[in-house]
Amino acid sequence: MIQVENVTKKYGQRMAVDRLNFTVNRGEILGFLGPNGAGKSTTMNIITGYLSATEGSVKLDGHDILEEPQAVKKQIGYMPELPPLYMDMTVRDYLSFVCDIKGVPRSRRKDSMEKSMEMLKISDVRGRLIKNLSKGYKQRVGIAQALMGTPPVLILDEPTIGLDPQQIIETRNLIRDLGREHTIILSSHILPEVQAVCSRVLIINRGKIVASDTPQNLSRGMTADNRLSIRVAGAEAEALAVARRVPQVVRAESVGSREHGTIDIMVEARKDQDVRRDVFTAFAKADLPLLQMKSMDLTLEEIFLNLITEEREVS
């Protein structure tokens, strides 16, 4: 659906984006991650045609953004981090204005507006001035404007920033629903949100791609058997003492009890050390039944921090 080929962007001597190559497949929700200054917004602006690349190309369904800018832009709905809202317009008038500048045919305009307002639950405020809406409603209007004309591709930059927990959950569910009909690129600093919504994650740092895979595969690829979650039938103090005596174990911490008469413990060994057999043997000798033992997957946040740290150490 979207092909980014050798895209480079320079500002003077500073390299903002360095030969990026990636593809976003039709129907995919791609999480786009990176620290501040990594080149995320620059890349998204190049994809939307707002900025031109110094080198390389961006194609949507085979159409080059520079050679056919109007045709490509009609296929993309973009919500920047700060939605381009006109505060003195009503919601209805603003969405109608967006339809005008997007060239949405009048025969489709009403249906597009009504469908978007219903989906985003803003039909009840269609007649209100945008400046009088809450932060949550303004964000919804920002997503609604990206949906005008029903573009097949949506690019959402921090769509839940500033929202309360309930609004974040609602927006997250909305993005999942939108993913059934749209190809989505989602940039967010809320990593659990990306993990919950996205089918694939692309992480960039200093303008370069450092990882691209599903959250699950990234976690498996970076997780060794040196981090274990175990459930022990017995007292907390005794179980911790046994775990801490296992050779190569550097940390053992209680994470509470989820089952009567048991304690859950997180065990961490030295890097690249598989201590599963030693842990099992130690608890068997102590006559403390081991009811559960599994390797702990890294969270997306831990993966992100590990990758960024490795990049800094290499450079």
Q: What is the pLDDT of residue 41?
A: 87
Neighbouring CB atoms inside 10 A of 291's CB total: 15
Q: Domain limits at 289?
A: 224-296
Who contacts 164 (Cβ-Cβ below 8 Å, separation ≥6)? 136
Instruction: Work out the average pLDDT over 214-218.
Output: 76
Who contacts 232 (Cβ-Cβ below 8 Å, separation ≥6)? 239, 262, 263, 264, 265, 283, 288, 289, 290, 291
Specify the length of the chain in residues.
Answer: 315
Residue 311 lies in a domain: no
Give how many domains the chain has, as a whole number: 2
More confident residue, 246 or 171: 246
Sheet holding 14-24, edge to edge: 14-24, 2-11, 55-60, 63-64
Residue 288 φ/ψ, nearest 5 degrees = -115, 105
Both 290 and 207 in one domain: the answer is: no
CATH number for 151: 3.40.50.300
CATH number for 278: 3.30.70.260
CA atoms within a 13 Å half-sphere pointing along the CA-CB vector of 216: 4
- CA dist., res. 1 & res. 30, Å (int): 12
Q: How far is CA 96 from CA 28, 117, 127, 215, in A?
A: 29, 12, 12, 38
Both 230 and 181 in one domain: the answer is: no
pLDDT digits (tens, 9 = 90+) for 4-46: 999 999 999 899 999 999 999 998 999 998 888 888 889 999 9
Judged against a pLDDT cut of 70, whether residue 223 lies above it is answered with no
